Amino acid sequence: MANLKNSKSQSMGLHKEVLAGRTQQVFFNPEEAENFFYYGAYDVDFNKRTEIDAMDLTAKQLNDKLHSLMKEGYGSVVIKNPQGKHSLGVGILNKLNLIFEGSLGYFGVGSIDGPVVRITGRVGWSCAENMMAGKVVIEKNAGSCFGAAIRGGDLICKGSVGARTGIDMKGGTIIVGGDAGAFTGFMMQRGRIIVLGDAGINLGDSMYDGTIFIGGKIKSFGSDAIKAKITSDDISWLKRKLKVAEIGSDFDLSKMTKVVAGKKLWNYDALEPSEKKGAI
Amino acid sequence: MCGIAGLIHKGKTVNIGKELQDMLQALKHRGPDSTGFALYGKGNNQGDYIMRFKVGENVAEGSSAVNEDKSVYDERRKLVDKHIRELGGSIVNDAQLTPYSFRYCIKYDKDLMEFSKRIESVEMTEILSLGKSLELVKDIGDASVVSKQYGLDKIKGTHAIGHSRMATESGVDIRSAHPFWGYPFSDVSVVHNGQLTNYWNNRRALENKGMRFMSECDSELIAVYLAQKMRSGASLQDGMQDSLKELDGVFTYLVATKDSLGMAKDTMAAKPMVLYESDDLVALGSEEIAIRTLLPQEIDTYDPYDGEVKVWQI
């Protein structure tokens, strides 16, 4: 556990509270190894492995159990019989090898930062929402809002995904082995989406930035989403990412369609907000 | 939010009431206001119509219905009986299930719309379902409460659809609860999760064609819309395809007839549905946990895509 010390700014009387976590102000000192860990993160050993049977556990009971195991130093945990329950494996801000033998319901492995997760079944809506870092691999299909608002990490579905995949994503990579539903990349702000199969209607609708690669057919483009030329850098990056995802090794990457924001919708002029108000 | 579920066994009769009860109970958190079942069995084997109807509302805790003196229920029932006889029908057997709801087996071979209009001319009376294999039951409470109240866990059949309701646009009462019967089409029922935004335009158009609405719940529109389509000669699948273009809003709905079960998802795919399909069973639910009550072992499921229409036969 991190041992937080008073900082210079505290000694100067600028503030009194003890700050913790990446999302808050951290006074970084490369000399202090504990600064590399979250407040509340546990030092785990990947060789220390155990199993949990989730059949009769509620989501809260299972999530509490996971935290207890990490506290005890377990670095590899296998969860059996998840039974499609919602909100399993959420809020893990730790390195951890986590395997679900079965399927998850809604909001599975949401708000995680660091673990490597493998799910042998499918996942419901909003899998890995707000993921910050780590790697999640789903062996089968995923529901809608897959990877909503993720900021980092690799989120991989070897099957097909539902509508609004990568909605509002702000970083990281989503990789889909099958098809993707309507509004994939809706309002995405950063990051990349790779879909080896087809994409549904309104691909990349109102995207601010980021890149989408589609291997199959595109039903229709959304507002302000346009095709772009695929570069050799793109190809080499795609090769690397698909290798990480363990899919598409024989896929012809030259057939990919690259989609980016036309930047006409949101950045159509250089007016300041106050000037826009005046214009209205 | 609402939860919907459906299942169809191909070539097999099972305890369909209990299976649907378990699925809907798993979805209780999506809507605890009321629960409804549309169960499809063999009827009474004589080819008679089964009519489920109510002559009043459940005014249990949480209900938005107006309290009535129960003595009026008997008077209304007598009027219903009188209308059936005058229409040339005969009651083969009858059962009173609650003070306000009944199940009749009826011999009748004339126009169902005329029949329905006469029966529903009795104050506060609504036919919940009319058909030769459909048993439609809905009431206030969760799946286990409604199932126990009506003895549904003993009903055998091939397929079923059901609904756990979170009341949003209309009251907590039986008339606004799902499933809706596809008036006046025998054995058609619908459950819906979502909102329709061109409800009044479509409702007025259908009313001009003689169709009736018993509630102000937008979901009722889908049942009446599909019934009208089939009345005009369209197949169930074609009617459902048309609904994707003509009904505006976000929706996923299930529809059942005496020998089929269908699913439609709007083009925005804003409402959830998880589907399991094998050679002998199709099961659908707003969440996978509903399907897991039937199939606890590891199974392959998927989300139907935007604008997808599917129909399965028994």
Higher pLDDT, B81 or A35: B81
Flag whether B276 is in a domain: yes
Name the domain count of chain B: 1
| Chain A environment of B267 (Cβ under 8 Å) | 182, 201
B91: in domain: no
In the predicted model, is pLDDT for residue A243 greater than 50? yes
Sequential DSSP letters for chain A: -------HHHHTTS--SPP-STTS-----TT-GGGGS-TT----EEEEEEEEE-TT--HHHHHHHHHHHHHTTEEEEEEE--TT-SSTT----S--EEEEES-B-TTTTTT-EEEEEEESS-B-TTTTTT--EEEEEESS-B-SSTTTT--SSEEEESS---TTTTTT-EEEEEEESS-B-TTTTTT--EEEEEESS-B-SSBTTT--S-EEEESS-BS-B-TTEEEEPPPHHHHHHHHHHHHHHT--TT--GGGPEEEEE-S-SSSSS---HHHHHHH-
Distances (CA, A) of A280 to A193, A264, A268, A269, B282: 36, 18, 15, 14, 54
Query: pLDDT tens-digit profile of A124-154?
Result: 999 999 999 999 999 999 999 999 999 999 9
What pLDDT does residue A134 have? 94
- Cα-Cα-Cα-Cα torsion A256, A133, A98, A104, nearest 10 degrees, comes to -60
Q: How confident is the model at residue A3 (pLDDT cuts 50, 70, 90)?
A: very low
- Average pLDDT over chain B reads 92
Question: Among all chains, which residue has been given the structure tokens 């197949």?
Answer: B235
The DSSP 8-state label assigned to residue B154 in this structure reads G
Residue B296 with chain A: CB contacts under 8 Å = 83
- CATH classification at residue B231: 3.60.20.10
What is the fold, at CATH topology level, of the domain defined by A45-279? Answer: Pectate Lyase C-like (2.160.20)
Residue that wins the pLDDT comparison between A18 and B278: B278
- Looking at residue A269, its pLDDT comes to 60
**Least confident stretch, A77-91, A141-155, A228-242, B176-190:** B176-190
Are residues B274 and A124, on separate chains, in Cβ contact within 8 Å? yes
Kindly state the average pLDDT of the residues B223-250: 93
Distance CA A106, CA B158 (A): 29
Q: According to the model, what pLDDT value does residue A179 have?
A: 96
| pLDDT for position A7 | 61
CB A264 within 8 A of CB A224: yes
What is the model's pLDDT at position A272? 63
Instruction: Give this complex's ipTM.
Output: 0.79
Q: How many Cβ pairs closer than 8 A exist between chain A and B?
A: 75
Nearest to A181 among B289, B299, B305 (CB): B305
**Residue B293 confidence class, pLDDT cut points 50, 70, 90:** very high
Furthest CA-CA distance within chain A: 64
Peptide bond into B179 cis (omega under 30): yes
Torsion of CA A231, A232, A238, A243, to 10 degrees: 170
Confidence of residue B298 (pLDDT cuts 50, 70, 90): confident
**What pTM was estimated for this model as a whole?**
0.85
Tokens of residue B267, six digits: 């083009």
What is the 3-class SS of B18-73, one letter each residue?
HHHHHHHHHCHHHCCCEEEEEEECCCCCCCCEEEEEECCCCCCCCCCCCCCCCHHH
To the nearest whole percent, how much of chain B has pLDDT over 90?
76
Q: Is B105 a catalytic residue?
A: no
What pLDDT was estimated at residue A23? 44
Which among B265, B286, B301, B308 is the top mutation candidate for probing chain A, defined by the most A β-carbons within 10 Å of its own β-carbon?
Answer: B301
Task: Give the pLDDT confidence of B2-49 residue by residue, as tens digits.
Answer: 999 999 999 899 999 999 999 999 999 999 899 999 999 988 778 899
Q: Which residue has the higher pLDDT, B217 or A257?
A: A257
Whether pLDDT at A279 is above 50: yes
- Closest among B20, B21, B27 to B164, alpha carbons compared: B27
Instruction: Give the CA diameter of chain B.
Output: 56
Contact A226, A244 (CB under 8 A): no
- The residues near B297 (Cβ < 8 Å, ≥ 6 apart) are none
At A2, the pLDDT band (50, 70, 90 cuts) reads very low
Q: With contact defined as beta carbons under 8 Å apart, do B251 and B193 qualify? A: yes
What's the Rg (C-alpha) of chain B?
18
How close B293 comes to chain A (CA, Å)?
9
pLDDT at A61 over 90: yes
> Is the distance from CB of B129 to CB of B41 less than 8 angstroms?
no
Q: Do the Cβ atoms of A124 and B302 come within 8 Å? A: no
**How much is the pLDDT for B54?**
95
Cα separation, B147 vs B97, whole angstroms = 12
Residue A150: which of A172, A134, A123, A183 has the closest Cα?
Answer: A172
* Chain B residues in contact with A102 (beta carbon < 8 A): 298
Tell me how far apart the alpha carbons of residues A232 and A132 are, in angstroms, rounded to a whole number. 28
Interchain contact, B301 vs A183, CB within 8 Å: no
Residues of chain A with pLDDT > 70, as a percent, come to: 80
Average pLDDT of the segment spanning B178-188: 90
- Which chain A residues have a beta carbon less than 8 Å from that of B307? 182, 201
Single-letter code of the amino acid located at A140: K
Q: How many Å apart are CA B212 and CA A162, to the nearest integer?
A: 37
Q: What is the pLDDT of residue B61?
A: 73
| B223: number of Cβ within 10 Å | 25
Contact list in B for residue A144 (CB cut-off 8 A) is 269, 272, 303
Q: Are A166 and A150 in contact (CB under 8 A)?
A: yes
For the segment A173-196, the average pLDDT, to the nearest whole number, is: 96
Q: Give the Cα separation of B4 and B272 in Å (integer).
A: 9
**Banded model confidence at residue B84, pLDDT cuts 50, 70, 90:** very high
Instruction: Check if the beta carbon of residue B16 is closer than 8 Å to that of residue B283.
Output: no
Residue A185 pLDDT > 50, yes or no? yes
Nearest to A144 among B288, B292, B303 (CB): B303
The confidence score (pLDDT) of residue B176 equals 87
Q: Per-residue pLDDT averaged across B96-107, rounded?
A: 95
Has residue B39 been placed in a domain? yes
Query: Pick from A85, A103, A144: which is nearest to B269 by CB?
Result: A144
What does the pLDDT read at residue A9? 60
Q: Identify the band that residue B65 occupies on the pLDDT scale cut at 50, 70 and 90.
A: confident
Of A102, A162, A201, the CB nearest to B303: A162
**Which chain B residue shows the shortest CA-CA distance from A101?**
B298
Question: Distance between CA B174 and CA B62 in Å, rounded?
Answer: 12
Task: Give a yes or no: residue B239 inside a domain.
Answer: yes
Residues whose CB is less than 8 angstroms from the CB of residue A112 and which lie 6 or more positions away in sequence, other chains included: A89, A90, A91, A92, A93, A128, A131, A132, A133, A134, A136, A153
pLDDT band, very low/low/confident/very high, at A1 (cuts 50, 70, 90): very low
Chain segment A7-48, per-residue pLDDT in tens: 666 666 665 655 555 444 555 555 665 555 666 688 899 999
Answer whether residue B80 is part of any domain. Answer: no
Listed range (A18-32, A169-183, B259-273) with the worst mean pLDDT = A18-32
Chain A nearest C-alpha distance from B281 (Å): 19
pLDDT at res. A14: 61
**Confidence (pLDDT) at B178:** 92
> Nearest CB to A201: which of B267, B292, B301?
B267
Query: Best interface-test mutation with B: which of A55, A85, A86, A103 has the largest number of B CBs within 10 A?
Result: A103
Structural domain spans, chain A: 1-41, 45-279
Range of the structural domain that residue B147 is part of: 3-43+135-313
**pLDDT over 70, % of chain B:** 100
Q: pLDDT: is B69 or B26 the higher one?
A: B26
Closest alpha carbon within chain B to A160: B302
pLDDT band at A266 (very low <50, low <70, confident <90, very high): low
The answer to whether the CB atoms of A162 and B305 lie below 8 A apart is: yes
In the predicted model, what is the mean pLDDT of chain A?
Answer: 88
Task: Calculate the alpha carbon distances from A188 to A179, B111, B113, B231, B267 in Å.
Answer: 18, 56, 52, 45, 20
φ, ψ for residue B93, nearest 5 deg: -155, 160
With a CB cutoff of 8 Å and minimum separation 6, the contacts of B136 are B36, B37, B38, B39, B52, B128, B129, B179, B181, B189
